[in-house]
Amino acid sequence: MEGWLESRYSINVSEMKRSVIRELLKLTRRPDIISFAGGLPSPETFPIQEIAELSKDLILKEGHWALQYGPTEGDPRLKEQIIRFIAKDGIAVGPDNLLIVSASQQALDMVARLFLNRKNSVVIGRPSYVGAIGAFRCCGARFVGVELDEAGMRMDMLREKLERMREDGDPPKFIYEVPDFQNPAGITLSLERRKEMLALAKEFQVLVIEDSPYRRLRYVGETLPSLYQLDGGEGRVIALHTFSKIMFPGLRLGWIIADPLIIDKLVILKQAMDLCTPPFTQAVATEYCRRGLLEPRIALNVELYRKKREVMLQALEQHMPKHPDLCWTKPEGGLFLWIRVPPTIDTDSMFYQALEENVAYVVGSGFYADEGGKDAMRINFSYPSEAEIEEGVKRLAKVIKKNLK
């Protein structure tokens, strides 16, 4: 059966690999392991009682629509709440600019399918979010990587790549960017670079996919305007947002903001993909917003994660060996920080040593579409407790010390 079947799969699927990160994550589930590997929000942030109450109330009140099929575009009641929510972030759009989706991963998949033929190019950061790499690869994308520094994607290098691609007759379909507290690097794209990126997008006629899962989780510094806002309605930015990190992920709800022409195409695509995002979960999210739970909960999350980030940074400072090539980002928000180790260390193989010390991270190589990242790792501070962060960093420091010798 297997051999016969193998020849039947599509080329896109044949080229897909089981996610290495996913396989490694399975190894981190031992209860004695302190895992910095996941990217989960802390369950402390879930207002169980309120959600239980509002779920019951809304089904009694509006079950006729929450239990039925809904429009592909998304529930207009939820759109109304989202429009208000993003207006506070300087984005003034109407319902035709919005599509409700099953969280950011579906948004990434939809964007990939909307634009990519096999072998089409996309520009991504080095490193980049693994789920984006996976979604784009699943449509046969070619990746062109641009280095990051402490201010985000390097614009000199972006220009260089765009020029070369134009010369080669292979312009990219889009630039993929997480401007705020990038996953995995924890880096924020500076205001100047944001403007430069949009200028380049205009000059080279290329779209920008702005993925903003963590934007509202800022712990220090000032919020920068989003790329969508800076674009000023010129239609060059498609923004992807999710409730996963600011409400809770179990609903799998997010939204795409884009030019109505693009939304219109995405609606046709979504019709073929799943008809609509569940009206049930959309009703829960709508009621959650209507009851005014969203903003105060975000504020609580920010408080909680700010402390955890602080604990992690202090623990790193205290326990990590001093070495000129050992450093980490100090993210202004989000869930992750990124550790660079000396090039003599291979974080892929060190992962198993860390497991022996009962601590886990995500290997840096997972965030590169090419061969990079073996000198890096991503660690998460939102899920573990403060005590676990303290102890886990100690264990991690011990492993790294061993490998420095």
299 binds a second copy (CB under 8 A): no
Of 116 and 189, which has the nearer Cβ to a second copy? 116
366 binds a second copy (CB under 8 A): no
Q: Which residues from 328-347 bind a second copy, rule CB under 8 A?
A: none
Task: Give the three-class secondary structure for 129.
Answer: coil
Distance of alpha carbon 395 from alpha carbon 378, whole angstroms: 15
Of 49 and 221, which has the nearer Cβ to a second copy? 49
314 binds a second copy (CB under 8 A): no
Q: Which residues from 220-259 bind a second copy, rule CB under 8 A?
A: 234-235, 244, 248-252, 259
Of 249 and 342, which has the nearer Cβ to a second copy? 249
Per the listing, tokens 């589930």 go with 29
Distance of alpha carbon 129 from alpha carbon 178, whole angstroms: 8
Q: Can you tell me which of 12, 190, 353, 385 binds a second copy, judged by CB under 8 A?
A: 12
Q: How far is the CB of 134 from a second copy (least distance, A)?
A: 4
Q: Which residues from 187-206 bind a second copy, rule CB under 8 A?
A: 205
How many residues in the shown chain lie near a second copy by CB under 8 A?
A: 85
Q: Can you tell me which of 31, 32, 68, 405 binds a second copy, judged by CB under 8 A?
A: 68
* 394 CB-side CA count, 13 A: 7
Task: Give the three-class secondary structure for 268.
Answer: helix
Give residue 372's identity as a one-letter amino acid code: G
53 binds a second copy (CB under 8 A): yes
Q: Which residues from 103-162 bind a second copy, rule CB under 8 A?
A: 103, 105-106, 109, 113-117, 120, 131, 134-135, 137-139
Distance of alpha carbon 154 from alpha carbon 146, whole angstroms: 7
292 binds a second copy (CB under 8 A): no
User: Would you say 290 and 247 are in contact if contact means Cβ atoms under 8 Å apart?
Assistant: no
Give residue 203's identity as a one-letter amino acid code: E
Q: How far is CA 66 from CA 57, 272, 322, in A?
A: 12, 21, 56
273 binds a second copy (CB under 8 A): yes
The β-bridge partners of 380 are 336
User: Would you say 274 and 102 are in contact if contact means Cβ atoms under 8 Å apart?
Assistant: yes
Of 57 and 160, which has the nearer Cβ to a second copy? 57
Q: How far is the CB of 250 from a second copy (least distance, A)?
A: 4
